Amino acid sequence: MVAPPEVLLDALVFPEGPRWHNDVLWFSDIQAGSVLTVDLAGRPTKVADVPGRPSGLGFLPDGTPLVVSMGERRLLRIENGDLHEVANIAEMTRAEINDMVVDGRGNAYIGDMAYRMMGGEEARPGQVILVTPDGQARPVADDMLVPNGSVVTPDGGTLIVAETVGARLTAFTTEPDGNLSGRRTFAALEGKSPDGICLDAEGLMWVASPFTREFLRVREGGDIVDRIDTGRKWAIACALGGPDRRTLFLLTSTMDRETRVSSGFIETTQVDVPGAGWP
């Protein structure tokens, strides 16, 4: 069992996409329209404003940060606080885009949710969109039930995607050209709502489940070996970072049902098994 989390940063709105990079945690505050970092002392720094609402984050092999602009359905590069388009994928997507992972070759895998899950729209299958380092984009997986958080294994050979409405983690083999094959279920999580995920060095996954308000450590096959209860907070996303990648960052949010106003938090706890792979 892990120790109860402690709040590292509050006064956020809806934090998403945590990524440990260059000794700080990068994250998107979606509803605030900002990409920020926070160090282990809890000191935040704004990196960029993203008017189209930021979500998934990642880094090219040279360290250049990338961010998903949800509403504009674009992948953007951040340079000195300015935004530059890498790819506009609006015409090939079905609704807002959301989370993303960037692998060691610079390939970005972006989830196209296909419908507004919280907006009362009729459900339909989503996709995973690949954007290569030269800005070329194409769908590489379909029939995804709200593709959300994703990771790439340390050898670069497997992509694992959380399907929030599908209640499962789905794995693919990544081909040399970035295409996906060999679709299979990594873990079925009946009754859960997997959102942000991160992988540890034992091959287990930390999984945020917002609607059941918990973070889970899940073995391939679906066995749950650890659990962090968030009380009344939604569990949005998680990341393993810190100097030895044993700090588990937990992104949570509450929402007033009447006003629909959110309050977001970043919390931390220490774990025995370090993080692995991307992000």
CATH number of domain containing 131: 2.120.10.30
Give me the DSSP letters along 108-148: EEEEE--S-TTTTPPP--EEEEEE-TTS-EEEEEEEESSEE
Q: Is the pLDDT of residue 122 over 90?
A: no
Instruction: Determine if the pTM surpasses 0.75.
Output: yes
Structural domain for 216, as ranges: 6-270
User: Rounded to an integer, what distance in angstroms lies between the CA atom of residue 221 and that of residue 189?
Assistant: 9
The span from the CA of 106 to the CA of 158, in Å, is 15
Alpha-carbon distance of 38 to 244, in angstroms, equals 17
Q: What is the pLDDT of residues 20-79, one digit of tens each?
A: 999 999 999 999 999 999 999 999 999 999 999 999 999 999 999 999 999 999 999 999
Tally of CA atoms within 13 A in the half-sphere of 64 that contains its CB: 18
**Would 37 be classed as within a structural domain?**
yes
Within a domain: 95 = yes
pLDDT, position 84: 98
Binned at pLDDT 50, 70 and 90, residue 260 comes out as low
| Residue 229 is assigned to a structural domain of this protein | yes
Residue 223 lies in a domain: yes
| Residue 214, strand partner residues | 209, 229
**What separation in angstroms does the CA of 176 have from each of 30, 104, 121, 127, 179?**
33, 12, 37, 20, 7
Residue 219 lies in a domain: yes
**Is residue 107 over pLDDT 80?**
yes
Does any domain span residue 78? yes
**Is 232 inside any structural domain?**
yes
Query: Count of domains in the chain?
Result: 1
Please tell me the distance from the alpha carbon of residue 159 to that of residue 224, in angstroms, as a whole number.
20
* The pLDDT value given to residue 61: 97
- Domain assignment present for residue 278? The answer is no
Report the DSSP pairing between strands 180-188 and 197-199. unpaired
Rounded Cα distance between 86 and 114, Å, is 21
The predicted structure's pLDDT at residue 95: 87
Give residue 274's identity as a one-letter amino acid code: P
